[in-house]
Structure 1
Amino acid sequence: MQLIRTSLPLESVILKGQLPFKHELLLLDDLNPEHLYQQYLAVMDKMQLYTSSTIDGLTECLPYNILLTNRWMLIIPRTTNEVGTVKGHGVNFIGRFLVSSHEQLQWLTNYGFMHFLTDCGVVNC
């Protein structure tokens, strides 16, 4: 889990439903933990992110990222967390990226930030 305080460069794209990969956006009235958890479970089921296998009695999930603000929750199924030599993480989906070298930054800039996110996600059907 990562907790950050930052601006969200992709927030307008997220709120307009313009992400080019599969996702589920829930607009929130409040941050009631029980209500959030029920919404989370419903989305996980709707997106078929649960698998039929279990580990120590707990149901496994397919890879995904979840972003939570005080206004919305976004769940994004993932196919990978690495494209080229750049590793991805949930914060990428708000438009923030961390790279470990100038070469990675140059590659990511040329490749395209949204292209990277789309390759990490599941293509919309």
Structure 2
Amino acid sequence: MGNNNLDLWSKINATTINALQEKALKPIETKYQFLEEQNINFIVRILDNIQRKENAKKKQKKKQKSTEYNPFLPYEEKLYVDDLGDSHVCILNKYNVVNNHVLIITKDFEPQENLLNINDLEAFWMVLKQVSGLGFYNAGAVAGASQPHKHLQVIPFPLAPNSQGFPMENLVLNYRSKLRDGEVVTVDELPYLQAIAFTGNMEKSAKESAKITKELYHQMLEYLSIENDGKTSRGNYNLLVTKQWMMMIPRTQPKAESISINSLGFAGALLVKNEEQLEIIKQYKPLHILKKVGIEK
């Protein structure tokens, strides 16, 4: 790409500027509102042009004339940011709601239901160490994964203008003083099953951070009784990762009251297609919807 001397964050920015100019990136316009429930200031984004995303996806699928269409094999060159080790690539999310939203994809096809391995997590940390933001993984279609090809995601802070970090963070950070690093517990205030753990000082290398994360990841799968055979997970779940902590949420369905939820929903950022869906969230409240797509405590 000619940006080999740049750090990853600079490459992400440079690629974004080019991809916008080349019209390879198709940002989705949204309006947003804050909706407070139990001291959590949820961000609800309302899509202005969901139709464009859906039409473009239909066109892409037609072009491939196959239900097996995979936008990551090959990925669009104009969205390419950098290689992450030998096994992963960092690309821009084509239909982004927040600028500089990146995907970490495996170079060879691997199913999204596969458990995260040390290479996935090292690639993840290569990005998280250079991007101030939230990392997440939608493990399976029930958890909101839109593609079957294994991909992790990182979205920079803030998740909405006039906000810091993301809505669920303060609730988790309240547990910081009560927990030892590496201890897996549940957040009592939330009405659905989930587990959190603090990772400790992640000023280490991406490889070292990946080792710590992998151990906690497996502890969480066990703590939440998410069935797996050591390679593939039968249960779907969402995983959130920041520089300080991790959270895992088992899933039972992809949507509730017509609202689709992925990992960002559990970070406190919901996305709706129209004003009608916004009214549904106001009526039922965000925590009710999250509880319905997860497992009620």
Structure-1-length-normalised TM-score = 0.85
Letter matched to residue 3 of structure 1: V
- Is the contact between residue 13 and residue 19 of structure 1 (CA under 8 Å) also seen in structure 2? no
Q: Render the CA deviation track for 1:31-78: whole Å, top value 9, x for unaligned.
A: 4111110111121122211246x9xxx433301100001111001111
State the match for 2:31 in structure 1: none
Structure-2-length-normalised TM-score = 0.38
Compare 24-33 and 96-105 and name the one that shifted more.
24-33
Letter matched to residue 190 of structure 2: L
Letter matched to residue 154 of structure 2: L
State the match for 1:104 in structure 2: 277
Q: CA shift at 1:30, angstroms? A: 3.1
Letter matched to residue 215 of structure 2: Q
- SS of the residue aligned with 1:19? coil
2-structure distance, mates of 1:84, 1:116? 7
Q: Which runs of 5+ in 2 are unaligned?
A: 1-151, 159-164, 175-186, 203-208
State the match for 2:234 in structure 1: 61
State the match for 1:11 in structure 2: 169
2-structure distance, mates of 1:93, 1:118? 10
State the match for 1:50 in structure 2: 227
2-structure distance, mates of 1:45, 1:38? 11
State the match for 1:75 in structure 2: 248
Moved over 3 A (4+): none
Aligned length: 120
Q: What's the RMSD between the two structures over aligned residues? A: 1.8
2-structure distance, mates of 1:59, 1:97? 28
Letter matched to residue 201 of structure 2: D
**Greater Rg by CA:** 2
Q: CA shift at 1:122, angstroms? A: 0.9
- SS of the residue aligned with 2:295? coil
- SS of the residue aligned with 2:197? strand
- SS of the residue aligned with 2:154? coil
Q: Are residue 40 (structure 1) and residue 222 (structure 2) matched?
A: no
- Is the contact between residue 252 and residue 295 of structure 2 (CA under 8 Å) also seen in structure 1? yes
2-structure distance, mates of 1:27, 1:33? 14
Aligned-residue identity in percent: 25
